[in-house]
Amino acid sequence: MKRGVIVAVGALAALGLAVAAGIASLSGKGMGPLIPPSEQCEATVNGSTVVLDLEQAESAAIIAGVAVRRALPPRAVTIALATAYQESDLRNLNHGDRDSLGLFQQRPSQGWGTPAQVRDPHYAAWKFYDALVKIKNYQQLEVTVAADRVQRSAFPNAYADHEDDARILASALTGQSRGTFSCTVDTDSQQVESMGANGLTPRAEAVRKDLVKTYGKLSTGGYAAGGITTGHMEGSAHYDGRAVDIFVKPISAANTTRGWALAQYLVAQADRLKIRTVIFSDKIWTAGSRSDNGWRDYTPPQRAGNTDTLRHLDHVHVDVIED
């Protein structure tokens, strides 16, 4: 059963099931959707599912991404996400108790930073982890205890209410659980853009910059000043400057985990960054009408080349929308 969903009982439940059945018959995969699926994100790990709206997913992915950049363990992400759930419901709030602001409701008057800084999700997450790692043996503490030692909350036990959901999201968004985080994202046509000086369109360059802001220095390719004309399959977004490859070489368990962290982060940011496609490790996610299918098996092109590269085992591919 999906967390956060309240199920009606009695007659209302029966009516709800009947309505749901009717909708399912109208929007079954065989007939094509008559009712568009809701835009949302889901993480499913060991049979348990967490559902987020797009804003919450973007926030959760940034919190996890900053931890991956800092080489912190998934436990740190669980603590951070449980905290942000309780403090802001994973929303970058511009208000709070007294001068509290942002995802973690950090208070400028208490030395967390300026109002603008604590409302920057990357900064806020970094400062949270700065405080967390100073707590001795924080990984062995209960989530609610570790969170409260950072936050000094008036309601310290409340963090425990979000521990299960936070653990599922942490596992998915750090890449420990692979292909388990996906979003349903509608797509709108975007104005055609010209390549910039480095061979990327402004939207593709925005994706590259966002990844660097979250993860720091990355090895990227698939673009070049003046554009590229060879090396990719016919019709590839690389030729239009709309695609970036993020390399996770050499292929190893650790680099595959990192690749999944990057890939699932990109899906979480797909609406904001106008991402169309993410491919990694024999799997593909596509925005639009197929996004509610989640990660699908990817069939590499039948052409000569490095099999690992064709299967995207050594790099994450991302491209942006343009019609």
For residue 182, being part of any structural domain is answered with no
The domain containing residue 11 runs over which residues?
1-35
Q: Whole-prediction pTM value?
A: 0.87
One digit per residue, the tens of pLDDT, for the chain of length 323 reads: 444 443 333 444 444 434 344 433 333 444 444 555 689 999 999 999 999 999 999 999 999 999 999 999 999 999 999 999 999 999 999 987 889 999 999 999 999 999 999 999 999 999 999 999 999 999 999 999 999 999 887 677 889 899 999 999 999 999 999 999 999 999 887 889 999 999 999 999 999 999 999 999 999 999 999 999 988 888 899 999 999 999 999 999 999 999 999 999 999 999 999 999 999 999 999 999 899 999 999 998 877 677 999 999 999 999 999 86
Residues 4 and 52 in one domain: no
Query: Which positions ≥6 away from 70 have C-beta within 8 Å?
Result: 126, 129
Using CA atoms, how far apart are residues 281 and 279, in angstroms rounded to an integer? 7
* Domain termination residue (choose one: 150, 177, 204): 177
Residues 169 and 62 in one domain: yes
Task: Report the pLDDT value the prediction gives residue 10, as an integer from 0 to 100.
Answer: 45
| CB atoms inside a 10 Å sphere around CB 141 | 16
Q: What is the pLDDT of residues 135-188, one digit of tens each?
A: 999 999 999 999 999 988 767 788 989 999 999 999 999 999 999 999 999 988
Residues 137 and 73 in one domain: yes
Number of domains in the chain: 3
Residues 22 and 79 in one domain: no
Residues 92 and 129 in one domain: yes
Amino acid identity of residue 128, one-letter, is F
Task: Report the pLDDT value the prediction gives residue 158, as an integer from 0 to 100.
Answer: 85
Residues 29 and 107 in one domain: no
For residue 184, being part of any structural domain is answered with no
The angle at the Cα of 134, spanning 130 to 136, to the nearest 5 degrees, equals 150
* Domain termination residue (choose one: 138, 157, 177): 177
* Domain termination residue (choose one: 177, 203, 238): 177
For residue 183, being part of any structural domain is answered with no
Residues 200 and 275 in one domain: yes
Task: Report the pLDDT value the prediction gives residue 37, as an integer from 0 to 100.
Answer: 64
Residues 159 and 240 in one domain: no
According to DSSP, the residues that pair with 284 across neighbouring strands are 279, 296
> Furthest-apart CA pair in the chain: how many Å?
65
Task: Report the pLDDT value the prediction gives residue 193, as an integer from 0 to 100.
Answer: 94
